[in-house]
C-alpha cells in the first residue's frame, strides 16, 4: 500500500464535495483524509485528498475520473516524495493536582509541540508534523491519559518551482501529473 | 402527480421594469435560443410556473405529455439519438424527478445528449421535507454529466447555456437543471440576454487531437500486418461516417462494430465483418485474437465486448481513438491513444495512412462465416415449429430495405435485431446498450420518430419489456405520429431464461409471464394491431404493420424457448464463444 496525495482544484460551488467523494465511494476507495480550502486564486478551491492504494494504475484512473467533473479545473496526484506536507493535531491532556508534571522541555525541544491553551484541570497541546511524527507524540503523551485527540487532514504543496494554480486552467488541459 | 399546495411566492418588486421577464419565461427563451422544438414532460406542483409560461410558447415549442416521467427521459434519448440534437425532458420535483432517473442513467452510459429540467420546492423550503421535496441534485449527481440547482431567476440564461453546451460537447451526456419554484416565478433583475457558450474553465474537451498522437497511430496502423478496426457509437455521435468509410477503404482494413456502433458503416460494405460482443458474430469476436493492431474508434471496451478483458486481444497493439481521456487505458492499455473527436481524428489520420490491400486477411474473416451460418442461421431459418424472432427481423429488414430506424428494447429480441437487420443507413439502431434498460423501446421509438419524422421507425420489443412502459402507448396515440411496434412474444423473460437454462441448470426462476391481451390493450389506447401466430401469414402481417398510416402494434407469437447464439459466456474469453 502506497500513500497518494491527490490535489484537486475546483470552482467554488455547492455540492462539489459530494460530486468528488462519490467517485471514491463508487470504487470502494477509503479516503484517509480530506482538506478543503480556498487557494491563492479567488474562487478556486483546493481539495487535498489522501488515499492508500496498491496499484498506481488504479490511482491514475481515479485521477482521470475526478478530472471529468465539470467544475474540476485540474487534478494532480502525488507520491510523498513529490510534496511537502503536514498535518496538525490537538491533544487535550488532564493535569490534576496530584499528577506527574508534563516534561515541557522534551515536548518542546524533541517533539516541537507546545501548549496553546490551559485551564485548571487540563492543557491543550498543539503538534504539527507528519502522520508518523504525530503518532510518535501520541505514544509519548499517552501515559498521561488523553482526554481528547484530533488530527487534521493533510495539507500539501508540490515541489515544483511554479505554483500549481499557474497550470490552471488552460495550459493543463486534461493532463495530470503522477 | 398530485398538485402541490401553492407555496410561498417570492415578492416581486413593483419597480421592476416592464421589459424584465420571469424565470419561467426566461427558461422558454433559453429553449428557443437553443432551437429546442420538442420537450417531453409531465407537469406537477413545483414546475407549474414553467408550464404556465409554456402555454404562451405552444406554437414554437412542441410539448409532448408523456404518461410517466421515465417515458419522458427515454423519449428524449430516442429524440437525441435519431436527430443528433439535445433531447429535452421536464418533470416536477420529488417523484417526477426520481422517475426521470432511469433515463438519465441510461443516457450517461450511452453518451446521449440530454437536458432534464426539474421543478423544485421554493428555495426557502429546501431541506425542510416540504411536499414533494427530494434532493434531486444528490440523487442524480452520479448519473449526470453535470447538474445544477437554480435558485434565482437571474441565473437561468447562463446556466441553461452551460447545460446545453455540456450536454453536447465532447462525449455527450445528460445534464439536469433543478429550478426552485421561486426562481421560476421570480422576475429577473436585468434584461434577458442569452449567450451560447463553447468553453468552460473546467470543461473544454479536446476535439482536435494532438498531431504527434495521430502520427504515432498512423505509424502503428501502417506497420500492421493484420489490422482490425472496431467501430463504436463515437463515430455516429460525431457524424464521422464519411471519414470513417474513407479510412476503411484506403487502408482496406476489416471492420466490426460494437452494438451501438451498428449502422456506422453499411452492412453491404465489403470490409464490414459484422458486430462483436457477447452475442455478436463469430468471426468478429474470434478475430480479436488474431489481429496484430486493433484500432478502436469511439468505443470503450465494455465488458460485453471484451469478455475477460485481460485475455481480450492480448496479442494486439491498440490504437484507441476516443474523445474522453478517462477511457484511455481504463480497460485496455493503448499503445497509441488519440484523444479527440472521431471526425477530427479520422480527418487527420487519413492522409497519413498508406493504401493497402488486405484481401487475404479479410478472407480469414469470411472463412469463418460458414460455420456460424451452419450452426446458427440455418437453425434460425429452418422454418419449423413456431415462428422464430430471426424470421420476423429478417422479413422486416427486407421489406424496409434495411433503411428503417430500428429501436429495440432489451433482451433476446435486441440481439436478434442486431444480428438480422441489414443496416444500410446511419443512426438506425437505437438501443439501451450500456444500461440495458427494459422498457426503453416504446418511449425511445416515439422519441426517435419525433427526432427524425421523415424516417420509418420500427420497434422490436419483448413481451416483458412492452409491459414496463406500456402506458406510453397513450402518448403515441395522442401525438398522432406513426410508430410501428412489433412485440416478439415468447411468454418469457427470454434472455434471463436462456441464462437460467445454460448456467443455472434450467432452474426457471420467475421468468414465465402471464401476459395480457396486448392487442386489446393497444386498441384501448387507440392504436390498431393484430396478432400473428403462423408463418404463412407473417409476411402479410408485416405488410399491414408497415403500410398502416398511423402507429400499429403487431404481436408475433414466437418460439418460447429459443436461445440466442453465438454467445460468449459472461466474464470468459471470446475464444470460448459458443455456437450452440
Give every CB contact of residue B221 below 8 A, 6+ residues apart in sequence.
B227, B251, B253, B293, B295, B319, B349, B353
Cα separation, B516 vs B519, whole angstroms: 9
The CATH number, out of the four listed (3.40.30.10, 3.40.190.100, 3.40.50.970, 3.40.630.30), of the domain defined by the range B386-557: 3.40.50.970
Q: B178 phi and psi, to 5 degrees?
A: -100, 125
Same domain as A56, residue A108: no
| Mean pLDDT for the stretch of residues B90-105 | 98
Same domain as A94, residue A75: no
CA A123 vs. chain centroid, Å, equals: 24
pLDDT at B136: 97
A170 contacts on B by Cβ (under 8 Å): 204
Percent of chain B with pLDDT over 70: 97
Cα separation, B580 vs B567, whole angstroms: 8
Please indicate if any CB of chain B lies within 8 Å of the CB of A27. Answer: no
Q: How far is A151 from chain B (nearest CA, A)?
A: 29
Same domain as A39, residue A111: no
Q: Taking a C-beta distance cutoff of 8 angstroms, is the pair B500, B508 a contact?
A: yes
- Are residues B203 and A67, on separate chains, in Cβ contact within 8 Å? no
* pLDDT per position as a tens digit, B553-569: 999 999 999 999 999 99
B211-366 CATH: 3.40.50.1220
* pTM of the entire predicted model: 0.93
| Mean pLDDT for the stretch of residues A47-70 | 93
- pLDDT surpassing 70 at residue B343: yes
* pLDDT per position as a tens digit, B284-305: 999 999 999 999 999 999 999 9
Q: Does some domain include residue A109?
A: yes
Please indicate if any CB of chain B lies within 8 Å of the CB of A79. Answer: no
CB atoms within 10 A of CB A72: 23
Please indicate if any CB of chain B lies within 8 Å of the CB of A42. Answer: no
In terms of pLDDT, which residue wins out, B123 or A82? B123
Residue B492 bears catalytic tag: no
Q: Taking a C-beta distance cutoff of 8 angstroms, is the pair A101, A123 a contact?
A: no
Alpha helices in B38-132 (DSSP H): 48-55, 69-83, 95-109
Q: Taking a C-beta distance cutoff of 8 angstroms, is the pair B126, B113 a contact?
A: no
CB atoms within 10 A of CB B3: 13
Structural fold of domain B23-185: Rossmann fold (3.40.50)
- Are residues A73 and B201, on separate chains, in Cβ contact within 8 Å? yes
pLDDT at B380: 95
pLDDT at A160: 80
Q: Which residue has the cell 471470446?
A: B574
- pLDDT surpassing 60 at residue B251: yes
* pLDDT per position as a tens digit, B16-57: 566 799 999 999 999 999 999 999 999 999 999 999 999 999
Q: How far is A21 from chain B (nearest CA, A)?
A: 10
Same domain as A108, residue A53: no
pLDDT at A168: 54
- Are residues A15 and B339, on separate chains, in Cβ contact within 8 Å? no
CB atoms within 10 A of CB B129: 8
Q: Taking a C-beta distance cutoff of 8 angstroms, is the pair B253, B318 a contact?
A: no
Closest-CA residue in chain A for B170? A68
pLDDT at A98: 84
Q: Which of A64, A168, A170 sits opposite B326 (nearest CB)?
A: A64
Question: Domain range spanning residue A93?
Answer: 86-151
* pLDDT per position as a tens digit, B519-541: 999 999 999 999 999 999 999 99
Q: Does some domain include residue A63?
A: yes
Residue B213 bears catalytic tag: no
- pLDDT surpassing 80 at residue A166: no
Q: How far is A66 from chain B (nearest CA, A)?
A: 9
Point out the least confidently predicted range of A59-63, A157-161, B375-379, B421-425: A157-161
- pLDDT surpassing 90 at residue A170: no
Same domain as A111, residue A141: yes
pLDDT at B16: 56
**Buried (b) or exposed (e) across B461-494, using 16+ Cβ within 10 A?**
bbbbbbbbbbbbbbbbbebebebbbbbbbbbbbb
Q: Which of A18, A57, A169 sits opposite B141 (nearest CB)?
A: A18
| Mean pLDDT for the stretch of residues B179-197 | 96
If pLDDT is split at 50, 70 and 90, which confidence band does B5 have?
Answer: very low
Q: Which residues pair with A88 in a beta bridge?
A: A128
* pLDDT per position as a tens digit, B430-443: 999 999 999 999 99
CB atoms within 10 A of CB B219: 13
* pLDDT per position as a tens digit, B433-474: 999 999 999 999 999 999 999 999 999 999 999 999 999 999
Catalytic residue among B25, B181, B347, B449: B181
Residue B495 bears catalytic tag: yes
Q: Taking a C-beta distance cutoff of 8 angstroms, is the pair B40, B83 a contact?
A: no
Same domain as A131, residue A44: no
pLDDT at A164: 63
**For the domain that residue A27 is a member of, what is the CATH number?**
3.30.70.260
Q: Which of B146, B201, B310, B339 to mutate to test the interface with A (most CBs of A within 10 A)?
A: B201
- Mean pLDDT of the residues in chain A: 89
Please indicate if any CB of chain B lies within 8 Å of the CB of A56. Answer: no
**CA nearest neighbour of B314 among B324, B300, B323, B301:** B301
A18 contacts on B by Cβ (under 8 Å): 138, 141
B386-557 matches B23-185 in CATH topology:
yes
The DSSP H or E segment spanning A35 is: strand A31-38
Same domain as A10, residue A78: yes
Residue B549 bears catalytic tag: no
Q: Strands B336-339 and B317-322, how do they pair? A: parallel
- Mean pLDDT of the residues in chain B: 95
Q: How far is B113 from chain A (nearest CA, A)?
A: 15
Q: Where are the domains of chain B?
A: 23-185, 211-366, 386-557
If pLDDT is split at 50, 70 and 90, which confidence band does B249 have?
Answer: very high
* pLDDT per position as a tens digit, B303-337: 999 999 999 999 999 999 999 999 999 999 999 99
Please indicate if any CB of chain B lies within 8 Å of the CB of A14. Answer: yes
Same domain as A94, residue A38: no
CB atoms within 10 A of CB A136: 14
CB atoms within 10 A of CB B358: 19
Q: Does some domain include residue A26?
A: yes
- Are residues B141 and A57, on separate chains, in Cβ contact within 8 Å? no
Please indicate if any CB of chain B lies within 8 Å of the CB of A126. Answer: no
pLDDT at A115: 96
Backbone conformation region of residue B427, classed left if phi is above 0, alpha if psi is from -120 to 50, else beta: left
Beta-carbon pairs below 8 A across chains A and B: 49
Q: Does some domain include residue A104?
A: yes
Q: Taking a C-beta distance cutoff of 8 angstroms, is the pair B44, B90 a contact?
A: no
B339 contacts on A by Cβ (under 8 Å): 174
- Are residues B202 and A73, on separate chains, in Cβ contact within 8 Å? yes
Same domain as A160, residue A76: yes
- Are residues A15 and B137, on separate chains, in Cβ contact within 8 Å? yes
B213 contacts on A by Cβ (under 8 Å): none
* pLDDT per position as a tens digit, B478-516: 999 999 999 999 999 999 999 999 999 999 999 999 999
B200 contacts on A by Cβ (under 8 Å): 70
Same domain as A68, residue A19: yes
The DSSP H or E segment spanning B396 is: helix B389-399
What is the domain count for chain A?
A: 2
CA B136 vs. chain centroid, Å, equals: 23
Same domain as A67, residue A30: yes
- pLDDT surpassing 90 at residue B90: yes
pLDDT at A44: 87
Q: What is the CA radius of gyration of chain A?
A: 19
Q: Which of B159, B169, B202, B208 to mutate to test the interface with A (most CBs of A within 10 A)?
A: B202
Q: Strands B405-408 and B429-430, how do they pair? A: parallel
Please indicate if any CB of chain B lies within 8 Å of the CB of A15. Answer: yes
In terms of pLDDT, which residue wins out, B446 or A57? B446
Cα–Cα distances in angstroms (integers) from residue B500 to residues B18, B153, B409, B454, B503, in the given order: 67, 54, 20, 42, 5
Q: Which of A65, A168, A169 sits opposite B326 (nearest CB)?
A: A65
Q: Does some domain include residue A178?
A: no
Cα separation, A116 vs A124, whole angstroms: 6
Residue B478 bears catalytic tag: no
The ipTM value here is 0.89
Same domain as A54, residue A31: yes
Q: Does some domain include residue A173?
A: no
pLDDT at B201: 84
Amino acid at each position: 500500500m502506497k500513500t497518494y496525495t491527490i490535489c484537486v482544484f475546483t470552482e467554488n460551488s455547492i455540492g462539489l464535495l459530494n460530486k468528488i467523494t462519490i467517485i471514491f465511494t463508487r470504487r470502494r476507495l477509503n479516503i484517509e483524509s480530506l482538506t478543503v480550502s480556498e487557494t491563492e486564486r479567488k474562487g478556486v478551491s483546493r481539495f487535498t485528498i489522501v488515499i492508500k492504494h496498491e496499484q498506481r494504475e488504479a490511482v491514475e484512473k481515479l485521477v482521470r475520473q475526478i478530472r471529468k467533473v465539470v467544475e474540476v479545473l485540474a487534478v494532480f496526484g502525488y507520491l510523498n516524495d513529490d510534496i511537502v506536507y503536514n498535518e496538525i493535531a490537538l491533544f487535550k491532556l488532564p493535569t490534576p493536582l496530584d499528577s506527574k508534571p508534563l516534561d515541557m522541555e522534551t515536548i518542546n525541544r524533541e517533539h516541537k509541540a507546545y501548549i496553546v491553551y490551559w485551564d485548571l484541570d487540563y492543557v491543550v497541546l498543539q503538534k504539527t508534523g507528519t502522520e508518523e511524527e504525530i503518532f510518535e507524540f501520541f505514544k509519548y503523551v499517552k501515559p498521561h491519559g488523553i482526554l481528547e485527540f484530533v488530527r487534521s487532514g493533510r495539507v500539501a504543496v508540490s515541489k515544483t518551482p511554479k505554483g500549481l494554480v499557474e497550470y490552471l486552467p488552460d495550459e493543463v488541459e486534461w493532463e495530470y501529473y503522477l | 402527480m398530485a398538485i402541490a399546495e401553492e407555496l410561498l411566492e417570492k415578492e416581486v418588486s413593483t419597480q421592476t421594469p416592464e421589459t424584465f421577464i420571469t424565470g419561467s419565461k426566461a427558461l422558454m427563451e433559453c429553449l428557443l435560443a437553443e432551437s429546442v422544438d420538442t420537450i417531453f414532460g409531465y407537469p406537477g406542483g413545483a414546475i407549474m410556473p414553467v408550464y404556465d409560461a409554456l402555454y404562451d410558447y405552444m406554437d414554437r415549442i412542441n410539448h409532448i405529455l408523456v404518461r410517466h416521467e421515465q417515458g419522458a427521459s427515454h423519449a428524449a434519448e430516442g429524440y437525441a439519438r435519431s436527430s443528433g440534437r439535445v433531447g429535452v425532458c421536464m418533470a416536477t420535483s420529488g417523484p417526477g424527478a426520481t422517475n426521470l432517473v432511469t433515463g438519465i442513467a441510461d443516457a450517461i452510459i450511452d453518451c446521449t445528449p440530454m437536458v432534464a429540467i426539474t421543478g423544485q420546492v421554493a428555495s426557502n423550503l429546501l431541506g425542510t421535507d416540504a411536499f414533494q421535496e427530494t434532493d434531486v441534485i444528490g440523487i442524480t449527481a452520479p448519473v449526470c454529466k453535470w447538474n445544477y440547482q437554480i435558485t434565482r431567476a437571474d441565473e437561468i440564461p447562463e446556466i441553461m447555456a452551460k447545460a446545453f453546451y455540456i450536454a453536447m460537447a465532447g462525449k455527450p451526456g445528460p445534464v439536469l437543471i433543478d429550478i426552485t419554484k421561486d426562481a421560476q416565478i421570480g422576475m429577473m433583475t436585468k434584461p434577458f440576454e442569452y449567450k451560447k457558450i463553447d468553453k468552460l474553465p473546467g470543461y473544454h474537451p479536446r476535439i482536435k487531437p494532438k498531431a504527434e498522437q495521430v502520427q504515432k497511430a498512423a505509424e502503428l496502423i501502417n506497420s500492421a500486418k493484420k489490422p482490425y478496426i472496431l467501430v463504436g457509437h463515437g463515430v455516429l455521435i460525431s457524424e464521422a461516417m464519411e471519414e470513417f468509410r474513407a479510412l476503411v477503404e484506403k487502408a482496406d482494413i476489416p471492420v466490426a462494430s460494437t452494438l451501438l456502433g451498428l449502422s456506422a458503416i453499411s452492412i453491404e460494405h465489403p470490409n464490414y465483418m459484422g458486430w462483436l460482443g457477447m452475442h455478436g458474430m463469430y468471426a468478429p469476436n474470434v478475430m480479436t485474437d488474431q489481429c496484430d493492431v486493433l484500432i478502436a474508434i469511439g468505443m470503450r471496451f465494455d465488458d460485453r465486448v471484451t469478455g475477460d478483458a485481460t485475455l481480450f486481444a492480448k496479442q494486439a497493439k491498440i490504437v484507441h481513438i476516443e474523445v474522453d481521456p478517462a477511457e484511455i487505458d481504463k480497460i485496455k492499455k493503448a499503445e497509441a491513444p488519440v484523444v479527440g473527436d472521431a471526425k477530427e481524428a479520422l480527418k487527420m489520420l487519413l492522409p497519413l495512412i498508406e493504401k493497402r490491400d488486405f484481401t487475404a486477411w479479410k478472407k480469414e474473416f469470411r472463412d469463418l462465416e460458414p460455420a456460424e451460418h451452419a450452426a446458427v442461421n440455418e437453425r434460425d431459418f429452418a422454418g419449423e415449429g413456431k415462428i422464430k424472432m430471426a424470421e420476423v427481423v429478417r422479413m422486416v429488414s427486407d421489406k424496409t430495405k434495411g433503411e428503417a430506424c430500428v429501436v429495440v428494447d432489451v433482451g433476446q429480441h435486441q440481439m436478434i435485431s442486431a444480428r438480422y437487420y441489414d443496416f444500410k443507413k446511419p443512426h438506425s439502431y437505437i438501443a439501451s446498450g450500456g444500461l440495458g434498460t427494459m422498457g426503453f423501446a416504446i418511449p425511445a421509438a416515439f422519441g426517435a420518430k419525433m427526432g427524425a419524422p421523415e424516417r420509418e421507425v420500427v420497434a422490436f420489443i419483448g413481451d416483458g419489456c412492452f409491459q414496463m412502459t406500456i402506458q406510453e402507448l397513450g402518448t403515441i396515440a395522442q401525438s398522432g405520429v406513426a410508430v410501428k411496434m412489433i412485440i416478439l412474444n415468447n411468454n418469457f423473460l427470454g434472455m434471463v431464461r436462456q441464462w437460467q437454462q445454460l448456467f443455472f441448470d434450467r432452474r426457471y426462476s420467475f421468468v414465465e409471464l402471464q401476459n395480457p391481451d396486448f392487442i386489446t390493450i393497444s386498441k384501448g389506447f387507440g392504436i390498431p394491431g393484430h396478432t400473428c401466430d403462423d408463418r404463412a401469414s407473417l409476411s402479410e402481417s408485416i405488410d399491414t404493420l408497415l403500410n398502416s398510416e398511423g402507429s400499429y402494434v403487431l404481436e408475433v407469437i414466437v418460439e418460447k424457448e429459443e436461445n440466442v447464439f453465438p454467445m460468449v459466456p459472461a466474464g470468459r474469453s471470446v475464444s470460448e464463444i459458443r455456437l450452440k
